[in-house]
Amino acid sequence: MKLPIFSITFSAILFLPLGHTTDHSVPEDGGYSRCRCLPTDYCWPNPSEWASFNASVSGSLIAVKPVASPCHDPTFDQAACEDAKTNYKSSVWRGSFPGGYQQVNFETSAVKNETCYIDTPRPSACGQGNVPIYAVAATSPTQIQKGVDFARERNLRLVIKNSGHDYLGRSAGRGSLQIWTHNMNSIEFSDSFTPDGCKWKKGEEAVTIGAGVQLKPLYSALKDKQKTAVIGFANTVGAAGGYIQGGGHSPLGPWKGMASDNAYQFTIVTADGKHVTANECQNSDLFWALRGGGGGTFGVVTSVTIRTFPDSSMLALNMNTTIPDRNQFYSFVADFHAFLPKFSDAGGSGYYYVFHETKTLIIAGLFAGQSNPNATEALFAPLMQKAREYTNSQVDWFQFPPFPISVGVDIGLTGSDATGGMTLLSSRLISRKFLESADGPKKLSEVFKAIGPNQNTVFLGHVVAGGQVARNNGIDSAINPSWRKALTHLIFARGWDSSTSFQEQAIIARNMTDVETPILAALEPDMGAYINEADLNERHWQKVFWGENYDRLLEVKAKWDEGELFMCKPCIGSENWDAESICRK
Ligand SMILES: Cc1cc2nc3c(=O)[nH]c(=O)nc-3n(C[C@H](O)[C@H](O)[C@H](O)COP(=O)(O)OP(=O)(O)OC[C@H]3O[C@@H](n4cnc5c(N)ncnc54)[C@H](O)[C@@H]3O)c2cc1C
């Protein structure tokens, strides 16, 4: 919920009651505080200090509330509650509030035992949970600089939120001040972009986007210019925030590389409050880290410039197979994975779902830059033949005529993403080498079979690597090096509802982290996972998410953010902090 907190008549009642129970401002080790200042601490800014700060950011400070707060006393508001109930599952609606996180579990706090659910009775408490206390609704880098300075000087927990889509909860934080980039929506095209300070470089076509630009509006802008770019397949995920800073996969990846491979330049407010440019010619260590090192870690990115391409044609197909016998179904799942290297060599990308309950495999294949449907049909013919040979199998095949990429994504993305659940993910990157090995595909399908019965697991495979992602292995960036070897990025989810206690949630999470994920991980212990779509409780997260790049990332972090102002979990250097990134260990 968005509440403008300061108007001409200043109202102190809008401030949270301050308990003043502890004082985290007292320097303990080496002259700096061990913990961030929380609203219950003496060091928390007083109302007039917040008012001065608000004036310094042109009145853009907002008191943040969980989005379900209008449905609970004492803030009950019939109309706003109805609105919240209608839109609770809309990512557009959630993204329009600084307190709206796309996974509701990140709005809660197990530590404080606080929730604010939409479907609990009106008198039940609405706790602030991990929803920040205040947000700077930034529209300019200057406001962000002021916010960063204020957080640093007052020792506040600082978080950055763009769309709030993060599956690891990194854009939320209990007792924090949030920099909210949602309203920074500029999109500027250039036919001849040269990174600042790289005068010797030839100009290339590019688009520079503000920190809050979301994927669907960017796709629409690209379409208007008859261009395309490597960005993710979603509506309201931010293009310049956690997505690209985590590496950014795309259905266009096998055609043109990872999103971060196509970044020319970032502008960023760093921990010292400076607004700097990072590209291959200046601050190149920061440029390296911002391409895969993870969001919320090195500063607040204010804009990103990425490569654009002339629009091209694309093919899309569906092959849906149901095989009633479970063993035969998983045998076909192995056949399909054994086929993936060939699919990749033909320029394929796309997504597939393995449904344990219905024994169905849905394949959505894409071929960017291609226009010959006969070639793709011939490619799939042997796989279809295999599918048909299984007892009582049902195989449906459909292929679209070629279409421009820009038109396809515009039609495929309807405007809003499914959201508003309580979800944790688990994932692994699976290498081409493994899928080419004699028993690799079979071992993988055995894992699906083993994990499948729990919550009737649906596995989602992303064929977003291989091709140009693999060929880009000479690009020196911070992404998990396993991306260059991978062919598919596999994820599964665990969820619950508002009746699930924190203790029960912990059991579900622990089972995923310590029982289920290790089964998947054991297939290829050195491959790891994609930071943006993974289990936030991964045990060996440094290696799993960044592999050999982790130590270098620590060095860049120490240089640009010595005081660890930007801290989240699991983010670079967070091994030194508690689970909430509030106190140093
Ligand atoms: C429906 C859906 C579809 C998805 N599709 C894809 C896909 O196709 N490809 C893919 O790779 N991923 C995909 N993802 C995952 C996505 O990349 C992550 O959820 C990502 O973290 C979202 O970034 P955000 O900035 O939009 O979200 P937020 O939750 O706002 O932020 C995520 C992280 O980035 C940080 N951050 C945000 N803005 C900034 C900034 N300006 N400067 C510094 N740090 C910042 C935050 O602090 C946080 O750590 C998808 C997720 C969902 C929910």
Q: Give one DSSP letter per residue of 554-583, joined into a string.
A: HHHHHHH-TT--B--TTSTTGGGB-TTSSB
Cβ atoms of 488 and 463 closer than 8 Å: yes
- How far apart CA 494 and CA 508 sit, in angstroms, is 7
Shortest CA distance to 113 belongs to which of 134, 102, 128, 133? 128
- How far apart CA 313 and CA 520 sit, in angstroms, is 36
Position 200 scores a pLDDT of: 87
Cβ atoms of 147 and 124 closer than 8 Å: no
- The Å distance, Cα 533 to ligand 1 centre, comes to 9
Shortest CA distance to 583 belongs to which of 270, 295, 174? 174
Residue nearest to atom 34 of ligand 1 (CA): 242
Of all atoms in ligand 1, which is nearest to the CA of residue 91? 1
For the chain, the average pLDDT equals 94
Cβ atoms of 103 and 167 closer than 8 Å: yes
**CA–centroid distance for 30 within its chain:** 35
- The Å distance, Cα 165 to ligand 1 centre, comes to 6
- The Å distance, Cα 462 to ligand 1 centre, comes to 17
- The Å distance, Cα 173 to ligand 1 centre, comes to 16
- The Å distance, Cα 12 to ligand 1 centre, comes to 35
The beta strand positions in 290-438, using DSSP E, are 300-307, 309-310, 313-322, 348-355, 360-368, 394-399, 403-404, 423-431
Q: Tokens for 194?
A: 């040269």
Cβ atoms of 60 and 34 closer than 8 Å: no
The single residue listed with the structure tokens 């606080």 is: 114
Of all atoms in ligand 1, which is nearest to the CA of residue 568? 49
- How far apart CA 324 and CA 333 sit, in angstroms, is 13
- The Å distance, Cα 166 to ligand 1 centre, comes to 5
Residue nearest to atom 16 of ligand 1 (CA): 243
Position 2 scores a pLDDT of: 32
Which residue stretches of the chain have pLDDT < 50? Answer: 1-21, 23, 25-31
- The Å distance, Cα 171 to ligand 1 centre, comes to 9
- The DSSP symbol for 421 reads B
Of all atoms in ligand 1, which is nearest to the CA of residue 238? 26
For a ligand 1 pocket test, name from 89, 243, 488 the mutation site with the most ligand atoms within 8 angstroms of its C-beta: 243
- The Å distance, Cα 241 to ligand 1 centre, comes to 6
Sign for the CA dihedral angle at 314, 320, 326, 328 comes to negative
Of all atoms in ligand 1, which is nearest to the CA of residue 234? 3
- The Å distance, Cα 195 to ligand 1 centre, comes to 24
Q: Tokens for 270?
A: 């760093």
Cβ atoms of 501 and 393 closer than 8 Å: no
- Angle in degrees, 0-180, between the axes of helices 141-153 and 47-56, rounded to the nearest 10: 150
For a ligand 1 pocket test, name from 171, 429, 535 the mutation site with the most ligand atoms within 8 angstroms of its C-beta: 171
- How far apart CA 503 and CA 338 sit, in angstroms, is 41
CA atoms within 13 A on the CB side of 188: 11
Q: Tokens for 136?
A: 């700077």
- How far apart CA 315 and CA 402 sit, in angstroms, is 5
pLDDT digits (tens, 9 = 90+) for 381-418: 999 999 999 999 999 999 999 999 999 988 889 899 98
- How far apart CA 85 and CA 83 sit, in angstroms, is 5
pLDDT digits (tens, 9 = 90+) for 528-573: 999 999 999 999 999 999 999 999 999 999 999 999 999 999 999 9
Residue nearest to atom 15 of ligand 1 (CA): 532
Q: pLDDT exceeding 70 applies to what percent of the chain?
A: 95
Residue nearest to atom 39 of ligand 1 (CA): 241
Helix (H) or strand (E) holding 177: strand 176-180
For a ligand 1 pocket test, name from 275, 532, 557 the mutation site with the most ligand atoms within 8 angstroms of its C-beta: 532
Q: For residue 379, how many other CB atoms are within 10 A of its CB?
A: 19
Residue nearest to atom 7 of ligand 1 (CA): 232
Q: pLDDT exceeding 90 applies to what percent of the chain?
A: 92
Of all atoms in ligand 1, which is nearest to the CA of residue 160? 47
**CA–centroid distance for 324 within its chain:** 36
- The Å distance, Cα 200 to ligand 1 centre, comes to 33
Domains in the chain (CATH in brackets) are 2-180 (3.30.43.10), 187-311 (3.30.465.10), 313-547 (3.40.462.20)
SS3 (DSSP) at 347? coil
Q: Which residues line ligand 1 (CB under 6 A)?
A: 102, 159-167, 170-171, 181, 211, 232-234, 237-238, 240-243, 245-246, 248-249, 295-296, 300-301, 417, 532-533, 568
pLDDT digits (tens, 9 = 90+) for 38-60: 999 999 999 999 999 999 999 99
Provide the terminal-to-terminal Cα distance of the chain, rounded to the nearest Å.
Answer: 33
- The Å distance, Cα 378 to ligand 1 centre, comes to 37
Residue nearest to atom 19 of ligand 1 (CA): 166
Of all atoms in ligand 1, which is nearest to the CA of residue 418? 1
Cβ atoms of 37 and 153 closer than 8 Å: no
- The Å distance, Cα 437 to ligand 1 centre, comes to 34
Residues 6+ apart with CB under 8 A from 102: 91, 94, 95, 163, 164, 165, 166, 417, 419, 420
Q: Tokens for 119?
A: 């479907």
- The Å distance, Cα 275 to ligand 1 centre, comes to 22
Position 27 scores a pLDDT of: 44
The single residue listed with the structure tokens 């320097």 is: 27
Of all atoms in ligand 1, which is nearest to the CA of residue 236? 26
Residue nearest to atom 17 of ligand 1 (CA): 243
Of all atoms in ligand 1, which is nearest to the CA of residue 240? 41
ipTM of model over 0.95: yes
- The Å distance, Cα 511 to ligand 1 centre, comes to 25
Position 410 scores a pLDDT of: 82
- How far apart CA 261 and CA 469 sit, in angstroms, is 8
- Which amino acid, 425? L
- The Å distance, Cα 99 to ligand 1 centre, comes to 16
- How far apart CA 54 and CA 32 sit, in angstroms, is 26
Shortest CA distance to 352 belongs to which of 456, 489, 450? 489
For a ligand 1 pocket test, name from 101, 165, 569 the mutation site with the most ligand atoms within 8 angstroms of its C-beta: 165
Q: Give one DSSP letter per residue of 385-406, joined into a string.
A: HHHHHSTT-EEEEEEPPPEEHH
Cα distances (angstroms) measured from residue 364 to each of 232, 256, 312, 460, 537: 15, 19, 19, 11, 30
Q: Please, which residues bridge with residue 304 across strands?
A: 209, 266
Of all atoms in ligand 1, which is nearest to the CA of residue 530? 11
- The Å distance, Cα 167 to ligand 1 centre, comes to 8
